Structure 1
Amino acid sequence: MSSIATPRFLNLAAVQQACTDDKTASLATTEKLVREAATNGAELVVLQELHATLYFCQTEDTEVFELAEPIPGPTSQRLSDLARELGIVLVGSIFERRMNGVYHNTAVVFEKDGSLAGLYRKMHIPDDPGFYEKFYFTPGDAQFNDGRSGFTPINTSVGKLGVLVCWDQWYPEAARLMALAGAEILIYPTAIGWDVTDDPEEQARQLEAWVTVQRGHAVANNLPVVAPNRVGTEPDPSKQSDGIRFWGNSFICGPQGEFLARADEESECILSTTLDRTRSESIRRIWPYLRDRRIDAYGDILKRVRD
């Protein structure tokens, strides 16, 4: 798809929801909230990571692969139909079965006519206690067959969307590469929460770090950021831990990191705001970070460590 001229203002929404082990029920909640967002004028609606299921990566279980779907498949078709019916651009999340033995954590973007505008397969895959994603997900392609980088914005009728996923949000390289490729908004569908046994001070530090790093990407790249997260406590199926309490706090911020909308830590809700797309350009004229980059001095960034 070629670049499409877009209007100055964009009404967008991010959905924060709780999920269950019933995919049909979780998707019904998603659809209800998306319809509400569209009724209130949203032209772009962004969903959280793996919104159709519980966050199954707390344990390693081969039976979980039965949840994966191809694209196109049942969940992508439902999201496509919803985008077409409501006339919105919709960013969703799918546990993708690409082929036997290759599965991805994939963000999908559907146009207002229901067509697939593009997809992004999560590039950075964590493997931490309670977040055993390397067992399930193959990293996304660093380079596509047509020469595009894996960090390539998706062209839509509402602009160029720099879609990344969760763990990607901790990496300034991913945000910067999306910005350099012309992204107009950075989008981070997320599933992150606390170990319920952590003390309140540690929980506060983790939450503040999560919010701060993404606001930093907004500031460093002069771009708005959309970060929807899930809510609710989900038990550990193996019973080896007390599960994860997902901390919500979904937010939308502007290109100087200013909060435009923010949720609490427990409510299912819709965040809505109107973006003025001229602000990124006006800010870049007075804070020209991209102009002053010393690309001649950054070669060592491609090394694992510097000796």
Structure 2
Amino acid sequence: MKLAAVQLRATDDRRETVGRAGDLLDEAARQGARVALLPELFAVPFVQPDPDPDYFELAEKLDGPSNAMAAERSRRHGITVVSSVFEAAETPGVYYNTACTFVRGELRSVYRKSHLPFSNGFPEKFYFRPGGAEPEVVDTGETGVGTIICYERHFPELSRIVALRGGSVLCVPVASASAPMREVFQLELRAHAVFNGLFVICANRVGKEGVKDYFGLSAVYGPDGDVLAQAGDGGDGVAVAEVDLGLVAASRRRRPFLRDRRPELYGRLTAME
């Protein structure tokens, strides 16, 4: 099967940005992608270093225009689309950074970012309430897909949960613009692929937004840590890779990290002190 990472430049015009995102999903489907991932909060500019109360005006319900487009393209092409939105919850004044997985147009998973930064120019705790559930794995009929969001790639426990729940594909929508972080960006993603024996799709924003310059590097990684496809530098694009899902089981036999875990020794990881 084929997996696709969508790389996108966001503008102040949500309608125009969502339209371009739809065109990129069309291109990914044309190239045969069965799973396509959009960047973090793809339809709107991302947060700037200084908290801005006006930013809340960009939030939308789960059935808003961003997800409506993603669901429509998922249905039209008969594929899985993972969309990321600035969610205005049903409870007034509550907002989430949310990833939604659509399988052939059906909403199958809602995952809310649980680890939120307030550092390096990303004051996300000001805007979003943290989610309270571990990542799910969605059975698409072809493979198992789990999602973690951006900052959460720094927490290996979450991708391990996806592997333990039977996931073969890890989706990571991101908004990454930090120059120092660029040096370890792909290192981290490759590590998630290797120590869990799964495929990783990472979709990043690209281009200048305020004081931030998003560096792209949207890509698909294999269970051996190889970069299987990467979007071009500096603009919109799709990275589509043909993958052999049999490599997931093969890599886990060759590197049996899941078999050799010792959870009885890991109590300190969840201790409150």
Question: Normalising by the residue count of structure 2, what TM-score does the alignment of the two structures yield?
Answer: 0.95
- 3-state SS, counterpart of residue 173 of structure 1: helix
What displacement does 1:304 show?
5.2
Partner of 2:73: 82
Partner of 1:147: none
User: Which of 167, 172, 186 in structure 2 is aligned with 1:211?
Assistant: 186
Mapped pair 1:284 → 2:252: yes
Partner of 1:159: 143
- 3-state SS, counterpart of residue 70 of structure 2: helix
- Matched to 2:71, the amino acid is S
The CA distance in 2 between the partners of 1:27 and 1:122, in whole Å, is 21
Mapped pair 1:253 → 2:221: yes
Aligned length: 272
RMSD: 1.4
- Matched to 2:160, the amino acid is R
- Matched to 1:178, the amino acid is V
Partner of 1:102: 94
What displacement does 1:23 show?
0.4
What displacement does 1:184 show?
1.1
The CA distance in 2 between the partners of 1:24 and 1:51, in whole Å, is 12
What displacement does 1:288 show?
0.7
- 3-state SS, counterpart of residue 12 of structure 2: coil
Partner of 2:5: 14
The CA distance in 2 between the partners of 1:76 and 1:269, in whole Å, is 20
Q: 1:70 to 1:299 in 2, by over 3 A?
A: same
- Matched to 1:228, the amino acid is A
What displacement does 1:57 show?
4.1
- 3-state SS, counterpart of residue 173 of structure 2: coil
Cα displacement string for residues 255-305 of structure 1 (whole angstroms, at most 9, x for unaligned residues): 111110123441211100111111110111121111111122111111356
Cα displacement string for residues 61-87 of structure 1 (whole angstroms, at most 9, x for unaligned residues): 222212111122332222211211122
Question: Normalising by the residue count of structure 1, what TM-score does the alignment of the two structures yield?
Answer: 0.85
The CA distance in 2 between the partners of 1:56 and 1:64, in whole Å, is 8
The answer to which of 41-50 and 262-271 deviates more is: 262-271
Mapped pair 1:62 → 2:53: yes
Identity of aligned residues (%): 37
- 3-state SS, counterpart of residue 243 of structure 2: strand
The answer to which of 264-273 and 252-261 deviates more is: 264-273
The CA distance in 2 between the partners of 1:248 and 1:304, in whole Å, is 36
What displacement does 1:22 show?
0.8
Partner of 2:161: 177
Aligned pairs for 1:20-169 within 5 A? 20-98=11-89, 99-112=91-104, 114-142=105-133, 150-169=134-153
- 3-state SS, counterpart of residue 241 of structure 2: strand
- Matched to 1:255, the amino acid is P
Cα displacement string for residues 179-224 of structure 1 (whole angstroms, at most 9, x for unaligned residues): 1111111110000103xxxxxxxx3x52121111111111111111
Partner of 1:200: none
Partner of 1:186: 170
The CA distance in 1 between the partners of 2:237 and 2:79, in whole Å, is 18
The CA distance in 2 between the partners of 1:69 and 1:28, in whole Å, is 17
Preserved CA contact (<8 Å) 2:39 2:204: yes
User: Which of 228, 231, 243 in structure 1 is aligned with 2:203?
Assistant: 228
Partner of 1:199: none
What displacement does 1:43 show?
1.5
Q: 1:58 to 1:22 in 2, by over 3 A?
A: farther
- Matched to 1:29, the amino acid is R
Preserved CA contact (<8 Å) 2:205 2:214: yes
User: Which of 192, 208, 230 in structure 2 is aligned with 1:262?
Assistant: 230
Runs of 4+ displaced beyond 6 Å? none
Mapped pair 1:301 → 2:269: yes
- Structure 2 regions of 5+ residues with no counterpart? none
- Matched to 1:41, the amino acid is G
